[in-house]
Amino acid sequence: MRADQTLVQFLREEKRLTGTHIGCDTVSCGACTVLLNGQAVKSCSVLAVQCDGARVDTVEGLCDQELSPLQQAFRECFAVQCGFCTPGFLMTACELMRTVKPKSRQELAVQLAGNYCRCTGYQPILDAIGRVLALPSPSR
Amino acid sequence: MASKGSGTSLSNPVLRSEDRRFLRGAGRYLADLSFPDTYHVAFVRSSEAHARIMDISTEKAYLPGVVGIFLAADLTSELGEVPMVWPVPGLQNPGHPLLAKETVRFPGEPIAVVIAADEQTARRAAKQVKVTYHRLPVVANLLQAVDRQAGGAAVHPEIADNIAYVWEREFGDPSALEKADDSFFQRLIIPRVAPLPMEPRGLIARYDREADLLSVWASSQFPHVLRLSLAVVLGHPESRIAVTVPDVGGAFGGKMNVYREDLLVAYFAKRLNLTLRYVETRSENFMAMTHGRDQIQDVRVFYTRRGRLLGMDVTIHANMGAYLQGATPGIPLFTAQMLSGCYRIPYIKVRVMGYYTNQAYTDAYRGAGRPEATYLVERVIEMVARKCGRDPLSVRLKNFIRRTQFPARVVTGLTYDSGDYSKALKKAAAKSGIKYWRSEQRARRLRGDRRQIGIGISSYVEFCGNSPSSAHAQLGLKTGGYESAVVRIHPTGAVTVISGSCPSGQGHETVWAQLVERCLGVAQEQVQVVTGTTTGTPWGGGTYGSRSAAVGGTAIYQACQRLIEKGRDYLQHLWQVKGEAIGFEQGVYSCGTRRISLQELAPRLYLAHDLPYGMEPGLEATVFFEPRSYTYPSGTHVCIVEVDALTGKTSILQYVAVDDCGHLLHEPIAKGQVIGGIVQGIGAALYEQIVQDEQTGQLLTQSFRSYHLPKAEDVPPIVTDHLCTPSPVNPLGVKGVGESGTIAAHPAVINAIVDALSVYGVEHVDMPATPEKLWQLCQMGGETE
Ligand code: FES
Ligand code: FES
């Protein structure tokens, strides 16, 4: 492992886990989000060496055969278009579901500020995560 | 037929098959592909907007692992330039070299190619290449070019006035203006924005010297066009280039171009006989992917006191950037074509002026010229309503093309296929509860509330189904507009459908399989969809201009029809009955008590033991569908905003979109396109803008930190609804849906903001309507009151 290698580079290049994506070079977009010891982090912002001995969860580990309820909700809400941002949103959502547990759609939206999506306009992503969190759905 | 079939409704939708891989992190985007012995490419890019290159020193850049560093002088002279396919008459084209030679003309322009064993080394080495510049005066933006404020600065010395071309047309009858009671002038500025797909661009190329085969993987919207361009520019046989497009992480027009980087990576892969990989960084994506919009529109509007729009005299100043990409000069002509909007306007005079600036090239970005037209027309109709003291809804109704007038020819020469503009408007108005918001608005105005309500309406029409090739000819665009499809039923009855369309997130795999199921009665699971490859496929146009459903989908539909006909011909012979006597429903032929499915016929047609005389064995069809006309989606969006006069902050309280995209092939996917498109439009209306320093030309927006992309919390709940006037120009009755949201959204938001601030005497605000801008307007208005 190179000393200057970021976690996302390590995952993609050494581990061939390419589900974690790179969408920027300023730690902005969240496409690279993974769970580091259960916490959502942008894996382009940590060095791989810093993660020695830590537990890292990536999108590849979210399910075996069947999609998880979160993934299923994404599918049913059509929260995926090009799919590039999707792993990042899923990992952030995993953390939110366990820790923050937003109480409203607005709160959820604020919590997702570190994840960008250029395709969906966020609405179906909020629908999907909101469904898993059992948030009241907005009137359409 | 498209309205029938199972699983298209919102209540019981067919889920997207591609999501299975995307949700597991098993999508394969360009950067995910890996090949043995790959070398990496980085570019030395200009840090200056406009400068003479005095010296390039590569001495310190030969780090361990660097294979080569190449400058413009190292390229072979046979190498062509970046292809441009839209030679507008009178165009001054300065050419588009692959590397800057003596002069750099925009920030980020490639100067040298660095090739190294790994990506980090390549990038580090590129930073070590020292370029000495002599700064030249810059044309830092379009306004400077228009005002010639640049102090005589010329982007290209041979084009002293920076004018790329002037294109003029006079449409309709100028005597219509005699009935006008009044006229007014308005300048509208549509800023430069960036497409910003979440996946940046990239390309991998490898060369097999034995086979003389150049294999290329690219994040692109059109593999066949890329192959053709590589063949022409590199002088390599087109038949020995294979282009593959893996999963594409968004495109929005930015990937419907062939760039210098693409050509250089492929060129060096062949020349050095190496596998080369280039994936741009986000900063590079900001600098060197095409930008969109960037027009200044000067409009004189002629109208009657009763709110009838009689004519417009329009000058569109359009920013080309420093060089021309594939379609750069032509995009503003799309604006000119659409200037009649949803209305009967008897007279339109238009002059399009293209300018060179020291900025990246513009080209198609979601909507490509049509958002600019809709913005102009919808701002104009709003201003007419205000000047006449009339309700903007009734002024629109008064000027609309009526339902009974379709097909409707507008003065700009287009013939709109179908629509019901009044119905969409009324539906949107009812759904958004305009009456309630008007009374709320009155109440807040009366009590001088700091938070004012604004109601913005946008009725749009756009053209999709790109394109009838003859329409390209008329506008001087040197491409065809058709699309191809192959539908192949294998001997086992399994189906492969090959489409020339090329997805970047629109769900083609799902929709094409569903379409084949509906046509041929073959279960979707048995349908293999092939897109994004030039290997073993007919020429494909690609995916852009909301064309996949109307053009690509129709090609698939027609190929299916041919197979059904072939099966029927065979059965005529086998059953000894007339063709008309043989029915076909849900994949099964029947005549009296006899029944056989198309899939069951497949093995017999491949066995070919009992074919009628002259019938070819096999069961496949190739179709090139040439549309006879554009399709014209339309609709009305209503946006309700609240603007806080003390902070200038805009909150969108409600957004309602009623769209008519003809028949929908897949309702939730279409809805997703509309909503995603609206949010891109909201982004441009409120936040987004590419900015260069006025003096130095430095790019100030090169990352997500300085360029505000809409985030989840910025987005209002969007309510969608649709109506359907099927398009008569294709058998599916579909129109296209990829761009309509973006096209409608800009004026919906800006009209709402102007409406809110009209209490402060505000008549117009240019995009992006940032808090600073709005706050200032409120201050000024407050003072004059
Ligand atoms: S890659 Fe964009 S935040 Fe990590
Ligand atoms: S689905 Fe494409 S960026 Fe989110």
A128 lies in some domain: yes
Q: What is the three-state SS of B9-56? A: CCCCCCCCCCHHHHHCCCCCEHHHCCCCCEEEEEEEECCCCCEEEEEE
Enumerate residue ranges in chain A where pLDDT < 70. Answer: 139-140
A130 vs chain B: nearest CA distance in angstroms? 13
- Residue B780's pLDDT is 87
- Helices and strands, number each (H, E), in chain A: 5, 3
A93 lies in some domain: yes
Candidates B269, B278, B206, B272; CA nearest to B243 is B206
Domain limits for position A37: 7-133
ipTM over 0.90: yes
A14 lies in some domain: yes
- Residue B592's pLDDT is 95
List pLDDT tens digits, range B218-229: 999 999 999 999
* Contact (CB<8Å) A75/B23: yes
Whether B681 and chain A come into contact, CB under 8 Å, resolves to no
Report the C-alpha gap between B539 and B626 in whole angstroms. Answer: 13
| Dihedral sign (CA B69, B71, B77, B81) | positive
Q: Which of B18, B250, B675 sits opposite A121 (nearest CB)?
A: B675
Please give the structure tokens belonging to residue B450: 């700091």
| Residues of B in Cβ contact (< 8 Å) with A26 | 282-283, 703-705
A2 lies in some domain: no
Helix (H) or strand (E) holding B208: strand B202-208
Amino acid identity, residue B27?
G
Helix (H) or strand (E) holding B221: none
Q: Is B651 helix (H, G, I), strand (E, B) or coil?
A: strand
DSSP structure string for B444-490: HHHTT-SEEEEEEEEEEE--BS---HHHHHHHT--S---EEEEEEE-
Calculate how far, in angstroms, residue A24's C-alpha sits from the geometric centre of ligand 1. Answer: 5
Candidates B719, B720, B666; CA nearest to B19 is B666
- Residue B116 main-chain phi, psi, to 5 deg: -145, 170
Enumerate residue ranges in chain B where pLDDT < 50. Answer: 1-8, 785
- Pick from B196, B198, B366 the residue to mutate for probing ligand 2's pocket: most ligand atoms within 8 Å of its CB: B198
Bridge partners of residue A33, in order along the sequence: A42
- Does ligand 1 have an atom closer than 6 angstroms to the CB of A21? no
Instruction: Tell me the HSE value of B485 on the side-chain side, using a 13 A CA sphere.
Output: 28
- Residue B7's pLDDT is 42
Which residues, including other chains, have CB under 8 Å from residue B77's CB and lie 6 or more apart? none
| Residues of A in Cβ contact (< 8 Å) with B671 | 78
* Protein residue with its CA nearest to atom 4 in ligand 2: A117
Contact, B191 vs B707, CB < 8 A? no
Could you tell me the domains of chain B?
201-279 (3.30.365.10), 482-625 (3.30.365.10)
Please give the structure tokens belonging to residue B204: 């991998």
- Does ligand 2 have an atom closer than 6 angstroms to the CB of B710? no
Calculate how far, in angstroms, residue A31's C-alpha sits from the geometric centre of ligand 2. Answer: 9
CATH (domain of A63)? 1.10.150.120
- Residue B29's pLDDT is 98
Contact, B364 vs B256, CB < 8 A? yes
Number of structural domains chain A divides into: 1
* Contact (CB<8Å) B22/A116: no
| DSSP designation for B447 | T
Candidates A21, A64, A81; CA nearest to B19 is A81
Cα angle for residues B729, B734, B740 (degrees, 5° grid): 110
- Does ligand 2 have an atom closer than 6 angstroms to the CB of A117? yes
Report the C-alpha gap between B73 and B58 in whole angstroms. Answer: 14
Calculate how far, in angstroms, residue B69's C-alpha sits from the geometric centre of ligand 1. Answer: 29
Q: Is B452 helix (H, G, I), strand (E, B) or coil?
A: strand
A110 lies in some domain: yes
In which residue are the tokens 């608005």 written?
Answer: B441
Report the C-alpha gap between B377 and B775 in whole angstroms. Answer: 26
Calculate how far, in angstroms, residue B712's C-alpha sits from the geometric centre of ligand 1. Answer: 16
- Residue B783's pLDDT is 56
- Residue B2's pLDDT is 39
| Dihedral sign (CA B223, B228, B233, B238) | positive
- Checking DSSP bridges between strand B309-321 and strand B347-356, what pairing results, if any? parallel
- Does ligand 1 have an atom closer than 6 angstroms to the CB of A124? no
